[in-house]
Structure 1
Amino acid sequence: MAEPGLSLGDLIDMQIRQQGPMSLASYMGLCLTHPTRGYYRKADPLGTGGDFITAPEISQTFGEMIGAWIADLYLQMGSPEKFTLLELGPGRGTLLADALRVATRATGLAEALDLKLYETNPVLAAMQRERLSAHSPDWIEDVETLGASPLIIIANEFFDALPVRQFVRREGKWYERSVGLADGQRVFGLSPTPYQEALIGEAFASAEDGEVAEIGLAGQQFMGQLCRLLGPRGGALLTIDYGYAHTQPGETLQALARHAPVDPLAQPGAADLTTHVDFEALGRAGRMAGLTVHPIVTQGSFLTSLGLAERHSALATANPQKAASLASAFDRLTRADQMGELFKVLCAASPGLRPAGFPA
C-alpha cells in the first residue's frame, strides 16, 4: 500500500533505489495504472480542460458512424437474441451514447444488447453511468468474465496507452531501455545485458546502430486474449488509434499534459503517456487466434466510406448556423494533415463476416 503524502514519483524513485532501474514498460504501467496515483485512476483527462481530445468529443458523427457499423454487423450476425457490446476505455461514454442512438434503430438490437464497459477511472465511470444508464451497462475488470453470447468489441484510442518495451541497437546488439536515477533525477538508460536477437523479431533485423525497436507486448497479448474470446462466440473487434500499418524501427513515446508535450519522466502520474500502435503486430495476434483480419485502412477512409460526408451535409442543411463548426470537425476527423491518415482502423472478425468500411 502506498505511503500517504508521497507522490508517485517518490514511490518510483524508492523502488529504483531498492531494486535498481526498471524497464520502460514497468515505468509506464506505474504511471498510468498505479492503484491510487496512476494517471488513469484519477480525474477526467478529456476535453479542452483536460490533457487531450478524442474523436468522439470532436463530433457526434464519429460515434454515429460506429453505431451504423455495429448495426450492420449485428444484422450480418443473424440478429442474435442476445449479444455483448464491449467498449475498452469508454472515456466519458460519448462514443457509445452517439453510437447506440443510431445502432438501436436496427430491429431487435436494443432488446438483444448486453453492454459491458472496461474502465479503471472512477470519475469517467460515473460519467458513463449517467450517459449510458438507458442501456443498463455493466463494468468489468476482467474480460474473461464475459458471457458466451456473440461479441462486438470497440477500442478507440485504447491500445496506444498500453506499456511498451524499447530496445536500442548498439554495436549490433539490442539493449533494453530502462528508467533509473542519476544525481537524484530520473533518467533513461540501457540494461548492461544484451537481449536475445531472435526475440526482437525479423522486422528489426536491418536496424542500424542507435535505432529503437518499440515492442508493445502488452497490447499484443491483450489483443490475442480478446480475439481468442471472440473465436467461439462469433463477432468482431474494431480498433481505431494513431500508429503505423507495418512494424518498423523508431521510438514514439510521448507525454501530454494540458494539450502540450511534456517530459515523460518529470511528473509520473500527472501526464498521459502513449506510443504509436503497431497495427501489423495487432493483426498478427488476431490471425493467430483464428480470426479474419481485414486490411488496415485510415480513419479518413473508414469514416467517409460509412457516410460521414453525407451525415455532415445533412446536419449542416438542418442547422445552417453550425455549418462552419461541422466543416471544421469533418476536416479534423478525415484530412490527411490532421487525424485522417495518422489514425488507422483495424478489424478482426469471425470468418464470413464482412465488416463495413473495409475493402471486400
Structure 2
Amino acid sequence: MTGPVADTLARALARRIAHEGPITVAAFMAEALGHPRFGYYMRQDPFGTQGDFTTAPEISQMFGELIGLWCADTWQRLGGPAEINLIELGPGRGTLMADALRAAAILPPFRDAIRVRMVETSPTLRARQQATLAGKDAGKNATWHNRLEDVPAGPALVIANEFFDALPIRQIQKAPHGWAERLVDLDPESPEDAPRFRFVLEAFGSPGATLVPERLRDAPVGSVVEVSPASRAVARALGERLTVHGGAALVIDYGYAHGPAVGDTLQALRRHAYAPVLEDPGMADLTAHVDFAGIADAAREGGAEAWGPVDQGVLLQRLGIAQRAGVLKRSATPQQAADIDSALARLIAPDQMGTLFKAVALTVPGLGAPAGFP
C-alpha cells in the first residue's frame, strides 16, 4: 500500500481498495485481525469478561488441565521421547498452557521433557502470555514464534484451541449467472474521512467459483459457501511435521463436522455481542465456522492420520471432566461448587459449547487413536 500512513484501518483499507479494486473476504479478515498497526489482535487483549469473548480455558481450569493430561498420555504413547515440543497455536492469554503444565506436573518425566513453544504474532498477547507463564517450572524456558515453521524440529504435541476459526476464509455466492466470489468494496456514498464498506460479487467467470465443492454446486441462488485455503495450509503443514518428526495435534474449535456447508457463518464480536462484519474493521473479532473434515483431509495430504471429529462435550467427558469437577468440589465453598457446576455445563452441555465445539486429533502414522477418540 502506498501513500501517507492512515490513522485508522478503515482509511488504510479504503486506500488499498481505491488502488487495487475490491478485495477478497480473506484479505479483509487478514487485515482486520492481523494488520501490524491496526489489527484487532495486535493492539489489545480481547479475552475474558472485560474483552469481546470468552474461550474455554477462561471458563474453567478443568479444560486446560484435561488437555495437559491428554498431552501426557500421548507422550507416553509416543514412547516417551526425552525432549518434545509442546506447541500452542494462538495461545490467548496463556491460560490453557499454564493449566496444562500444572496437570503435566503429575508425570515428572513428561514435565522434564517439555519444551514450550508459543506461536503468537501479537505483541500484546505475547506479553500477557509471558506474565502468565512466569514462574511455571516447565514454562520458564518457553520460546515465542511467529509461525509454526519457525518452531525447532523434533517430536511435537500441538494444541490449537479456537485458532482455526480466526484464519481467513473466502466466500463464494450463487448468483443468477453462476457462482461468484464475494468481495469487499468501498461504499461510494461514504465520506472520505469515515469510509464504509459493502459486499459485492466478482464479475462473471470468477476464479473463486472453482473453490465450490461439486456436491454443493446445485445449491439455490443466494447460497454462500465458505472455504479457507489458509486453514488447509496450516493443517497440511501440521500433517507433514507430525509425519516427519513424530507427535500429535489436538484441534478444538466450533464449526462443521462435515463441511464445507452452505451458509454464511462469518461474524463479528464486540463486547460479547454480535456486530456488523464490515463496520469499524480492526475493532471487533472476526471468526467463521471451521471445516473439520477439511482440516482432517489436509492433514492426511501431509501424511498424518486424523481422528474424529468428536463433540467437545463427548471428548471432555471421555477425558474425565466430571470426575475432575467432583475432586475440585470436595474443597470448594457452596458458591465455588455452584460455579464449578456452571462451568462444567457450559463446556459440555449440548445447548452450550458441548456440540457446537468439536475436536479432531492428528497423529504420526501408526500411533493409533489417542485418548478421547474412538
Cα separation, 1, equivalents of 2:180 and 2:121: 32
Distance in 1 of aligned mates of 2:5 and 2:206: 38
1:177 and 1:215 map into 2 onto residues whose CA distance is: 12
Per the alignment, residue 343 of structure 1 pairs with 357
In 1, distance between residues paired with 2:172 and 2:113? 46
Counterpart CA distance in 2 for 1:138 and 1:6 is: 33
Q: Distance in 2 between matches of 1:338 and 1:240?
A: 15
State the AA in 2 paired with 1:264: V
Q: What are the within-5 Å matches in structure 2 for residues 200-279 of structure 1?
A: 200-247=212-259, 248-279=261-292
Q: Does 1:313 align with 2:323?
A: no
Alignment of 1:150-229 (within 5 A): 150-171=155-176, 173-182=178-187, 183-184=189-190, 185-195=196-206, 197-229=209-241
How far apart are residue 199 of structure 1 and its match?
3.6
Superposition RMSD on alpha carbons, in Å?
1.4
Q: Does 2:346 match 1:332? A: yes
Aligned to 2:40: 39
Equivalent pair of 1:173/1:195 in contact (CA under 8 Å): no
Contact 1:291–1:351 (CA under 8 A) maintained in structure 2: yes
The residue type paired with residue 236 of structure 1 is: A
Maintained 8 Å contact 1:85/1:113 = yes
Spell out, residue by residue over 1:174-225, the C-alpha distance to the aligned partner (whole angstroms, 9 max, x if none): 1000011231231111011333554422232231211011001111111111
Do the aligned residues in 1 keep the contact of 2:121 with 2:145 (CA within 8 Å)? Answer: no
Q: Deviations over 1:147-190 (max 9, x none)?
A: 23211110000000011000001136210000112312311110
Equivalent position amino acid for 1:326 in 2 = I
Looking at structure 2, the residues matched to 113 and 233 of structure 1 have their Cα atoms a distance apart, in angstroms, of: 15
Match of 1:94 in 2: 95
1:280 to 264, 288, 293: 293
Q: Deviations over 1:36-61 (max 9, x none)?
A: 11001011000110000000000000
Deviates more, 1:2-11 or 1:66-75: 2-11
State TM-score, norm by structure 2: 0.93
Question: Deviations 1:92-123 (Å, cap 9, x if unpaired)?
Answer: 11001001111132241122111100111222
Aligned CA distance change for structure 1 residues 330 and 71 (closer, same or farther; 3 Å): same
- SS of aligned partner of 2:250: strand
Residue identity (%): 44
Opposite residue 48 of structure 2, the aligned amino acid is G
Q: 2:150 aligns with which of 130, 137, 145?
A: 145
Q: Is the 8 A contact 1:238 1:348 kept in 2?
A: yes
Q: Deviations over 1:9-35 (max 9, x none)?
A: 011011111221111111111100001
Q: Which runs of 5+ in 2 are unaligned?
A: 191-195
Tell me if structure 1 keeps the 8 A contact 2:243–2:365: no
Distance in 2 (CA, whole Å) between partners of 1:87 and 1:49 is: 24
Q: Deviations over 1:255-287 (max 9, x none)?
A: 000001111111010000000101111111011
SS, match of residue 308 in structure 2: coil
Aligned residue for 2:278, secondary structure, equals coil
CA contact 1:71–1:106 (8 Å) conserved in 2: yes
Give, in angstroms, the shift of residue 292 of structure 1.
1.1
Native 8 Å contact 1:55 1:62 kept in 2 = yes
Matched, 1:357 2:372: yes
**Which 10-residue stretch deviates more, 44-53 or 2-11?**
2-11
Q: How does the TM-score come out when normalised to structure 1? A: 0.96
Shift of 1:4: 4.9
Check whether the contact 1:159–1:277 (CA below 8 A) recurs between aligned residues: yes
The count of residues paired between Structure 1 and Structure 2 equals 359
Farther-moved stretch of structure 1 (348-357 vs 292-301): 348-357
Which moves more between the two structures, 60-69 or 127-136?
127-136
Distance 2:109 2:244 in 1: 22
How far apart in 2 are the matches of 1:178 and 1:55? Answer: 32
> How far apart, in 2, do the equivalents of 1:238 and 1:129 lie?
22
* 1:200 maps to amino acid: V
Query: Which ranges in structure 1 are unaligned for 5 or more consecutive residues?
Result: none
